[in-house]
Amino acid sequence: MTKHTPPTIWVLGASSGIGKAVALAYAKKGASLVLSARRVADLEQTQKECQVHTDHVWVEPLDLADTSSHQGVADRVKSHLGHLNVLFHSGGITSRTEASEAAMDVERRMMEVNYFGVISVTKVAMPMLENAKGHVVVITSVAGKLGTQFRSAYAASKHALHGWFDSLRLEIETKGMHVTLVCPGYIATPLTLHALTNDGSALGEMSEKQTKGMPAYVFASKLLAKLSSKPHEVIIGGAEVMSIRLKRWAPKLLHAILKRSKVT
Protein backbone atom coordinates (compact mmCIF):
# COMPACT_ATOMS: atom_id res chain seq x y z
CA MET A 1 0.00 0.00 0.00
CA THR A 2 1.37 3.47 -0.86
CA LYS A 3 1.73 5.89 2.02
CA HIS A 4 -0.57 8.96 1.73
CA THR A 5 1.52 12.13 1.68
CA PRO A 6 -0.37 15.28 2.65
CA PRO A 7 -0.41 18.09 0.06
CA THR A 8 1.97 20.98 0.76
CA ILE A 9 0.50 24.49 0.52
CA TRP A 10 1.96 27.99 1.02
CA VAL A 11 -0.88 30.45 1.66
CA LEU A 12 -0.14 34.18 1.32
CA GLY A 13 -2.63 36.52 2.99
CA ALA A 14 -3.39 33.86 5.60
CA SER A 15 -3.90 36.33 8.47
CA SER A 16 -7.41 37.34 7.39
CA GLY A 17 -10.40 36.92 5.09
CA ILE A 18 -10.14 34.67 2.04
CA GLY A 19 -6.57 33.49 2.77
CA LYS A 20 -7.48 32.46 6.31
CA ALA A 21 -10.62 30.62 5.11
CA VAL A 22 -8.63 28.83 2.40
CA ALA A 23 -5.91 27.81 4.90
CA LEU A 24 -8.58 26.33 7.17
CA ALA A 25 -10.23 24.50 4.28
CA TYR A 26 -6.86 22.96 3.29
CA ALA A 27 -6.12 22.12 6.94
CA LYS A 28 -9.40 20.17 7.09
CA LYS A 29 -8.04 18.09 4.18
CA GLY A 30 -4.93 17.30 6.27
CA ALA A 31 -2.55 19.52 4.27
CA SER A 32 0.87 20.68 5.47
CA LEU A 33 0.78 24.47 5.47
CA VAL A 34 2.96 27.56 5.66
CA LEU A 35 1.02 30.73 6.49
CA SER A 36 2.34 34.15 5.46
CA ALA A 37 1.30 37.82 5.76
CA ARG A 38 2.60 40.68 7.94
CA ARG A 39 0.51 40.44 11.16
CA VAL A 40 2.13 37.70 13.22
CA ALA A 41 -0.52 37.50 15.98
CA ASP A 42 -3.27 37.01 13.38
CA LEU A 43 -1.21 34.38 11.55
CA GLU A 44 -0.71 32.56 14.85
CA GLN A 45 -4.48 32.62 15.38
CA THR A 46 -4.98 31.04 11.92
CA GLN A 47 -2.25 28.50 12.81
CA LYS A 48 -4.06 27.60 16.05
CA GLU A 49 -7.35 27.06 14.19
CA CYS A 50 -5.62 24.96 11.50
CA GLN A 51 -3.86 22.82 14.13
CA VAL A 52 -7.24 21.43 15.16
CA HIS A 53 -7.11 19.53 11.84
CA THR A 54 -3.42 19.11 10.95
CA ASP A 55 -0.13 18.95 12.88
CA HIS A 56 2.00 20.54 10.17
CA VAL A 57 1.40 24.30 10.15
CA TRP A 58 4.16 26.92 10.21
CA VAL A 59 4.03 30.71 10.32
CA GLU A 60 6.49 32.62 8.14
CA PRO A 61 5.85 36.39 8.19
CA LEU A 62 6.28 38.16 4.85
CA ASP A 63 5.70 41.67 3.52
CA LEU A 64 4.76 41.50 -0.16
CA ALA A 65 6.22 44.98 -0.72
CA ASP A 66 9.64 43.94 0.64
CA THR A 67 10.72 41.86 -2.36
CA SER A 68 14.35 41.63 -1.18
CA SER A 69 13.19 39.47 1.77
CA HIS A 70 11.26 36.94 -0.34
CA GLN A 71 14.10 34.52 -1.16
CA GLY A 72 14.93 34.15 2.55
CA VAL A 73 11.30 33.36 3.38
CA ALA A 74 11.12 30.87 0.48
CA ASP A 75 14.23 29.12 1.84
CA ARG A 76 12.46 28.68 5.20
CA VAL A 77 9.28 27.45 3.44
CA LYS A 78 11.45 24.86 1.66
CA SER A 79 12.92 23.70 4.97
CA HIS A 80 9.37 23.08 6.27
CA LEU A 81 7.64 21.66 3.17
CA GLY A 82 10.39 20.56 0.77
CA HIS A 83 8.28 20.86 -2.37
CA LEU A 84 5.10 22.86 -3.03
CA ASN A 85 1.88 21.38 -4.40
CA VAL A 86 0.04 24.71 -4.21
CA LEU A 87 1.21 28.32 -3.98
CA PHE A 88 -1.93 30.22 -2.97
CA HIS A 89 -1.87 34.02 -3.40
CA SER A 90 -4.50 35.85 -1.37
CA GLY A 91 -2.37 38.73 -0.08
CA GLY A 92 -3.48 42.13 -1.30
CA ILE A 93 -4.95 45.56 -0.63
CA THR A 94 -7.64 47.62 -2.33
CA SER A 95 -8.11 51.30 -3.13
CA ARG A 96 -10.85 53.90 -2.93
CA THR A 97 -9.10 56.60 -4.92
CA GLU A 98 -9.99 59.05 -7.67
CA ALA A 99 -7.89 58.31 -10.75
CA SER A 100 -6.96 61.94 -11.35
CA GLU A 101 -6.39 62.86 -7.69
CA ALA A 102 -4.58 59.93 -6.05
CA ALA A 103 -0.94 60.55 -5.09
CA MET A 104 1.62 58.72 -7.24
CA ASP A 105 2.91 57.03 -4.06
CA VAL A 106 -0.53 55.44 -3.67
CA GLU A 107 -0.55 54.22 -7.29
CA ARG A 108 2.94 52.74 -6.73
CA ARG A 109 2.07 51.17 -3.37
CA MET A 110 -0.83 49.32 -4.98
CA MET A 111 1.44 47.87 -7.66
CA GLU A 112 4.22 47.07 -5.15
CA VAL A 113 1.91 44.97 -3.00
CA ASN A 114 -0.68 43.53 -5.41
CA TYR A 115 1.53 43.02 -8.47
CA PHE A 116 5.32 43.14 -7.86
CA GLY A 117 4.98 41.41 -4.47
CA VAL A 118 2.88 38.58 -5.90
CA ILE A 119 5.09 37.94 -8.91
CA SER A 120 8.24 38.13 -6.75
CA VAL A 121 6.96 35.42 -4.38
CA THR A 122 5.99 33.30 -7.40
CA LYS A 123 9.53 33.55 -8.81
CA VAL A 124 11.20 32.46 -5.55
CA ALA A 125 8.68 29.61 -5.12
CA MET A 126 9.18 28.27 -8.65
CA PRO A 127 11.89 25.64 -7.85
CA MET A 128 9.65 24.19 -5.10
CA LEU A 129 6.68 24.12 -7.50
CA GLU A 130 8.73 22.56 -10.28
CA ASN A 131 9.69 19.64 -8.01
CA ALA A 132 6.02 18.85 -7.35
CA LYS A 133 4.48 19.82 -10.73
CA GLY A 134 2.68 22.36 -8.57
CA HIS A 135 -0.29 24.67 -8.94
CA VAL A 136 -0.22 28.47 -8.60
CA VAL A 137 -3.58 29.93 -7.53
CA VAL A 138 -3.95 33.70 -7.66
CA ILE A 139 -6.86 35.64 -6.21
CA THR A 140 -7.42 38.60 -8.51
CA SER A 141 -10.91 40.16 -8.71
CA VAL A 142 -13.81 41.11 -10.95
CA ALA A 143 -11.73 44.32 -11.04
CA GLY A 144 -9.06 42.28 -12.84
CA LYS A 145 -11.42 42.22 -15.83
CA LEU A 146 -12.97 45.70 -15.75
CA GLY A 147 -12.49 49.10 -14.11
CA THR A 148 -15.07 50.89 -11.98
CA GLN A 149 -15.21 54.28 -10.26
CA PHE A 150 -12.77 54.77 -7.34
CA ARG A 151 -10.88 51.51 -7.99
CA SER A 152 -8.47 52.63 -10.72
CA ALA A 153 -5.28 51.68 -8.85
CA TYR A 154 -6.75 48.40 -7.64
CA ALA A 155 -8.16 47.48 -11.07
CA ALA A 156 -4.81 48.27 -12.73
CA SER A 157 -2.92 46.00 -10.29
CA LYS A 158 -5.37 43.14 -10.78
CA HIS A 159 -5.39 43.50 -14.61
CA ALA A 160 -1.57 43.28 -14.46
CA LEU A 161 -1.81 39.94 -12.66
CA HIS A 162 -3.97 38.50 -15.46
CA GLY A 163 -1.41 39.52 -18.10
CA TRP A 164 1.59 38.17 -16.18
CA PHE A 165 0.05 34.88 -15.05
CA ASP A 166 -1.54 34.10 -18.45
CA SER A 167 1.99 34.34 -19.88
CA LEU A 168 3.52 32.29 -17.06
CA ARG A 169 0.91 29.53 -17.56
CA LEU A 170 1.97 29.05 -21.18
CA GLU A 171 5.62 28.84 -20.15
CA ILE A 172 5.29 26.36 -17.27
CA GLU A 173 2.46 24.09 -18.45
CA THR A 174 5.01 22.18 -20.51
CA LYS A 175 6.77 21.32 -17.23
CA GLY A 176 3.52 19.97 -15.75
CA MET A 177 2.69 23.03 -13.64
CA HIS A 178 -0.63 24.90 -13.58
CA VAL A 179 -1.94 28.44 -13.02
CA THR A 180 -5.47 29.34 -11.93
CA LEU A 181 -6.63 32.96 -11.79
CA VAL A 182 -9.59 33.45 -9.46
CA CYS A 183 -12.03 36.38 -9.79
CA PRO A 184 -14.20 36.69 -6.67
CA GLY A 185 -17.23 38.96 -6.50
CA TYR A 186 -18.18 40.47 -3.13
CA ILE A 187 -16.81 38.32 -0.29
CA ALA A 188 -17.45 39.32 3.34
CA THR A 189 -13.96 40.26 4.59
CA PRO A 190 -12.41 43.42 6.14
CA LEU A 191 -10.64 44.27 2.82
CA THR A 192 -12.06 47.81 2.37
CA LEU A 193 -11.31 48.80 5.97
CA HIS A 194 -7.65 49.16 4.94
CA ALA A 195 -8.37 50.51 1.41
CA LEU A 196 -5.92 53.22 0.37
CA THR A 197 -7.49 56.64 -0.28
CA ASN A 198 -6.07 59.52 -2.40
CA ASP A 199 -3.43 60.46 0.19
CA GLY A 200 -2.59 56.90 1.21
CA SER A 201 -4.55 56.91 4.48
CA ALA A 202 -6.84 53.97 5.20
CA LEU A 203 -10.54 54.32 4.34
CA GLY A 204 -11.46 52.96 7.79
CA GLU A 205 -14.93 51.75 6.83
CA MET A 206 -16.41 48.62 5.35
CA SER A 207 -18.06 48.52 1.92
CA GLU A 208 -21.76 47.79 2.35
CA LYS A 209 -21.82 45.43 -0.65
CA GLN A 210 -18.82 43.51 0.67
CA THR A 211 -20.29 43.18 4.17
CA LYS A 212 -23.35 41.55 2.58
CA GLY A 213 -21.18 39.39 0.31
CA MET A 214 -20.53 35.65 0.32
CA PRO A 215 -19.02 34.36 3.59
CA ALA A 216 -15.32 33.63 3.11
CA TYR A 217 -15.65 30.00 4.24
CA VAL A 218 -18.38 29.39 1.60
CA PHE A 219 -16.13 30.96 -1.04
CA ALA A 220 -13.18 28.77 0.07
CA SER A 221 -15.19 25.58 -0.10
CA LYS A 222 -16.62 26.41 -3.57
CA LEU A 223 -13.14 27.29 -4.81
CA LEU A 224 -11.35 24.19 -3.50
CA ALA A 225 -14.01 22.01 -5.15
CA LYS A 226 -13.16 23.63 -8.50
CA LEU A 227 -9.37 23.61 -8.21
CA SER A 228 -8.89 19.87 -8.65
CA SER A 229 -9.50 20.19 -12.42
CA LYS A 230 -6.80 22.93 -12.58
CA PRO A 231 -9.00 25.45 -14.46
CA HIS A 232 -7.34 28.48 -16.05
CA GLU A 233 -9.90 30.82 -14.51
CA VAL A 234 -12.56 30.63 -11.82
CA ILE A 235 -15.29 33.22 -11.19
CA ILE A 236 -17.21 32.98 -7.90
CA GLY A 237 -19.68 35.47 -6.44
CA GLY A 238 -23.22 36.82 -6.66
CA ALA A 239 -24.96 38.70 -9.49
CA GLU A 240 -22.04 41.17 -9.65
CA VAL A 241 -19.85 38.61 -11.45
CA MET A 242 -22.20 38.89 -14.48
CA SER A 243 -20.34 42.13 -15.20
CA ILE A 244 -17.40 40.04 -16.49
CA ARG A 245 -19.64 38.51 -19.19
CA LEU A 246 -21.18 41.92 -19.98
CA LYS A 247 -17.73 43.49 -20.35
CA ARG A 248 -16.97 40.93 -23.06
CA TRP A 249 -20.27 40.72 -24.88
CA ALA A 250 -22.08 44.04 -24.16
CA PRO A 251 -19.48 46.57 -22.99
CA LYS A 252 -21.64 49.64 -23.68
CA LEU A 253 -24.48 48.20 -21.61
CA LEU A 254 -22.05 47.49 -18.75
CA HIS A 255 -20.73 51.05 -18.96
CA ALA A 256 -24.27 52.44 -18.71
CA ILE A 257 -25.04 50.20 -15.72
CA LEU A 258 -21.82 51.10 -13.89
CA LYS A 259 -22.39 54.81 -14.50
CA ARG A 260 -25.73 54.62 -12.72
CA SER A 261 -24.66 52.26 -9.92
CA LYS A 262 -23.66 53.29 -6.42
CA VAL A 263 -20.06 52.14 -5.97
CA THR A 264 -19.13 51.45 -2.32
139 is an interface residue for ligand NAP by CB under 6 A: yes
Interhelix angle 242-249/251-260, nearest 10 degrees: 130
Stretch that binds ligand NAP, among 37-45, 123-131, 195-203, 243-251 (CB under 6 A): 37-45
**Residue 109 CB, nearest approach to ligand NAP (Å):** 9
**Residue 52 CB, nearest approach to ligand NAP (Å):** 20
Q: 227 vs 67, 153, 157, 256, CA distance in Å? A: 28, 28, 23, 34
Looking at 115, 154, 186, 217, which residue is catalytic?
A: 154
Q: Is 154 known to be catalytic? A: yes
Q: What's the burial of 247, exposed, middle or buried (CB within 10 Å: 0-12/13-18/19+)?
A: middle
91 is an interface residue for ligand NAP by CB under 6 A: yes
Nearer to ligand NAP, 173 or 208 (CB): 208
* Distant-in-sequence, close-in-space partners of 218: CB < 8 Å, separation ≥ 6: none
Q: What's the burial of 45, exposed, middle or buried (CB within 10 Å: 0-12/13-18/19+)?
A: middle
Nearer to ligand NAP, 132 or 264 (CB): 264
Query: Between residue 173 and residue 192, which ones bind ligand NAP under the rule CB under 6 A?
Result: 184, 186-187, 189-191
Nearest to 108 by CA among 72, 156, 150: 156
Start-to-end Cα distance in the chain: 55
93 is an interface residue for ligand NAP by CB under 6 A: yes
Site string (148-177) toward ligand NAP, x via CB under 6 A: ------------------------------
Q: 239 vs 186, 214, 244, CA distance in Å? A: 9, 11, 10
65 is an interface residue for ligand NAP by CB under 6 A: yes
Name the site residues for ligand NAP (rule: CB under 6 A): 13, 15-19, 37-39, 42, 62-65, 90-94, 113, 139, 141, 184, 186-187, 189-191, 194, 210, 213
